[in-house]
Amino acid sequence: MRLLPRHYLLLIIGLPAMAQTPKKGLHFTSSIQQKITVYNGTIFVNGNKAHQLDPEAINYGSKRNRLVENEGTVFLFLDIAPLQKLYVFRIDHSNADSVLSAASSDVKDLDHDGLLEFGGSDATQAYPSADSAYYVPTHYYEIARGRITPDAELTQKMDKKINGVYLANPLNPNGQCCKVIPKKH
């Protein structure tokens, strides 16, 4: 019985040492040896401050934070947790230029065309009627030839899958998102 209190004492002393602190930094190296660090909301490229974000916004533990290189262009993807967004930056020399933001998603070949895509739809509120729903538009992007461009084909395909229909103009008559459509059954 004397060993039991010793175990509790060791457990109390050892718990703080075993606790994991949240990750607050990211480190990447491009194929041309650019050092990209994201620390406390700041993007550093080769040691130079390149861009400032809200330090609490970045989900440092996300697997969606990554570098993607395409035909000599380096893109930095950062998962922004509170907004459920993926921020994309083009890294060039010691600069980090904001390119776009998209729905937080994995960056992978979604339509099996050999190119990386990302995107999706934002969450919308529920429509009050049981037989209808708000149209939830998607926005997908493709990485090709060192650029990020909208992927219209994948966007239409995913809109049809999610909503049952593709609407080129999803805004309601007031210019707000989004039109009401019958629920698919």
For the segment 84-109, what is each residue's pLDDT rounded down to a tens digit?
Answer: 999 999 999 889 999 999 999 999 99
Distances (CA, A) of 124 to 16, 87, 154: 41, 20, 20
| pLDDT value of position 62 | 95
> Is the bond leading into 177 cis (omega within 30 degrees of zero)?
no
Contact assessment for residue 96 and residue 90, using Cβ atoms and an 8 Å cutoff: yes
β-strands 35-39, 180-182: how paired? unpaired
| pLDDT value of position 178 | 82
**How far is it, in rounded angstroms, from Cα 134 to Cα 128?**
10
Contact assessment for residue 70 and residue 146, using Cβ atoms and an 8 Å cutoff: yes
Confidence band of 52 (pLDDT split at 50, 70, 90):
very high
Spatial CA neighbour of 148 closest among 57, 70, 62? 70
Average pLDDT over residues 50-67: 94
